[in-house]
């Protein structure tokens, strides 16, 4: 059965639809990202000669146009999907963020499982990857791994572990199977991780966090894909933007002016999305963007440097929505209003 070859006119029609939707996105980074992404997808679709491959590439452009249209209309699922693509939670960018974690240039290459096979060395879990795998906040399924599962995966037979009764009865496991099981587990578990956009360095004595690539290099830490570009800070600023709107009675009790302009979230003027909708989607997004932190001492302590995983306090998770209510800390204005209410009730 022959597959119809999409014409260039159909591809460019979807491209024009994307160009009409991209200026309506609420932030500058989203507009820049999708301009580049859609342009690359169109170029790929036009250059493909094989019908099936060309049709798949053309469908990607058409689906992107529909996705952008639905996102700009305020569909939460579509807007969440474009955020995942733009910030490396899915798609090609996710694998580019993942690549530095799969190797560790500072660790020696482990010995081969099969002496005559140069490709039989077991995988090496880098320290940053171990920190992500052992922390439930960074896992897609919300379940952390134990350190023992890094050495022997959950589907690893007992006969492959030295000193077990199964090994004594049935004999050792095939070396070829050992190698395959270890590498399959490595690729499977590394795909279930939310990878960070950047890593920060912190001295334990001062707790000051630095993301400058020069500071990272001085400590022997490899910078990540969006290191020191302010992308994580931009997401956190949008997610944490919560203007305090006071009623007329509260303003009068606190002796504030009768009218106070409400600070507004800076969105693109052409965007049709509400501030509340955008802020809520970014709060859900930042819950899927862990912050990797490298902590070290200034030499006064024998505690070795270590990696840890943190999540922004502005993150909104499923647990926050259905199980636990997350309440902000009371400000000085809130406390003043509480005291004023107590005085009114006692009088």
Reported as a single tens digit per residue, the pLDDT across 92-139 is 999 999 998 998 888 888 889 898 888 889 999 999 999 999 998 899
Three-state SS string over 128-146 comes to HHHHHHCCHHHECCCCCCC
Reported as a single tens digit per residue, the pLDDT across 16-53 is 999 999 999 999 999 999 999 999 999 998 988 888 88
CA neighbor of 109 nearest in space, from 94, 119, 98: 119
Q: What is the pLDDT of residue 325?
A: 45
Q: What is the pLDDT of residue 107?
A: 84
Q: Please state the φ and ψ torsions of residue 24, each to the nearest 5 degrees.
A: -85, -5
- Tokens encoding 200: 């920060």
- Tokens encoding 88: 């490396």
Report which secondary-structure segment, H or E, holds 340.
Answer: helix 332-346
Round to whole Å and give the CA distance between 88 and 44.
Answer: 21
Residues in CB range of 290: below 8 A, 6 or more apart? 132, 135, 137, 138, 194, 196, 309, 310, 311
* Cβ pair 238, 204 in contact under 8 A: no
* Cβ pair 131, 292 in contact under 8 A: yes
Q: What is the pLDDT of residue 321?
A: 39
CA atoms within 13 A on the CB side of 44: 15
Indicate the domain borders of the chain: 8-86, 100-190, 199-346
Using a 10 angstrom Cβ sphere, with 0-12 exposed, 13-18 middle and 19 or more buried, the burial of residue 66 is middle
What mean pLDDT is predicted for residues 2-6? 68
Describe the strand order of the beta sheet including 209-210 as a list of residue ranges.
Answer: 209-210, 199-203, 291-296, 306-310
Give the predicted TM-score (pTM) of the model: 0.80
Provide the 8-state DSSP code for 307: E
Q: Please state the φ and ψ torsions of residue 293, each to the nearest 5 degrees.
A: -120, 130
Reported as a single tens digit per residue, the pLDDT across 274-330 is 888 998 999 999 999 999 998 888 766 678 888 999 988 888 875 543 344 455 677
Q: What is the pLDDT of residue 290?
A: 93
Round to whole Å and give the CA distance between 29 and 32.
Answer: 5
Q: What is the pLDDT of residue 343?
A: 82
Q: Given the DSSP bridges, would you call strands 306-310 and 209-210 parallel, antiparallel or unpaired?
A: unpaired
Q: What is the pLDDT of residue 19?
A: 94
Reported as a single tens digit per residue, the pLDDT across 214-270 is 888 888 888 888 888 889 989 988 888 665 566 677 667 767 666 555 566 778 788
């Amino acid at each position: 059965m022959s597959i119809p070859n999409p014409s260039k006119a159909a591809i460019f029609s979807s491209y024009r639809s994307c160009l009409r939707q991209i200026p309506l996105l609420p932030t500058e980074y989203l507009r820049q990202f999708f301009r580049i992404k859609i342009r690359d997808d169109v170029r790929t679709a036009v250059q493909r000669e094989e019908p099936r491959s060309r049709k798949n590439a053309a469908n990607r452009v058409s689906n992107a146009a529909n996705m952008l249209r639905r996102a700009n209309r305020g569909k939460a699922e579509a807007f969440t999907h474009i955020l995942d693509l733009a910030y490396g939670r899915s798609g090609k960018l996710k694998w580019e963020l993942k690549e530095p974690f799969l190797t560790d240039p500072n660790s020696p290459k482990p010995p081969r499982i099969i002496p005559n096979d140069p490709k039989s060395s077991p995988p090496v879990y880098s320290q940053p990857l171990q920190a992500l795998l052992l922390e439930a906040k960074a896992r897609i399924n919300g379940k952390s791994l134990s350190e023992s599962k890094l050495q022997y995966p959950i589907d690893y037979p007992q006969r492959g572990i030295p000193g077990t009764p199964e090994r004594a009865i049935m004999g050792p496991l095939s070396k070829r199977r050992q190698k395959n099981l270890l590498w399959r587990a490595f690729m499977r578990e590394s795909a279930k991780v939310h990878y960070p956009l950047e890593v920060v360095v912190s001295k334990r004595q001062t707790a000051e966090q630095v993301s400058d690539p020069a500071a990272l290099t001085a400590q022997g830490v490899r910078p990540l894909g969006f290191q020191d570009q302010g992308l994580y800070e931009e997401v956190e600023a949008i997610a944490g933007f919560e203007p305090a709107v006071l009623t007329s009675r509260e303003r009068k009790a606190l002796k504030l002016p009768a009218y106070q302009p409400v600070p507004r979230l800076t969105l693109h003027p052409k965007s049709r999305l509400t501030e509340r909708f955008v802020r809520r989607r970014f709060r859900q997004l930042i819950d899927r963007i862990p912050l990797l932190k490298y902590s070290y001492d200034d030499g006064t302590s024998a505690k070795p440097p270590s990696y840890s995983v943190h999540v922004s306090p502005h993150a909104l998770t499923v647990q926050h929505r259905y199980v636990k209510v997350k309440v902000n800390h009371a400000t000085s204005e809130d406390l003043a209003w509480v005291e004023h209410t107590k005085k009114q009730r006692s009088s």
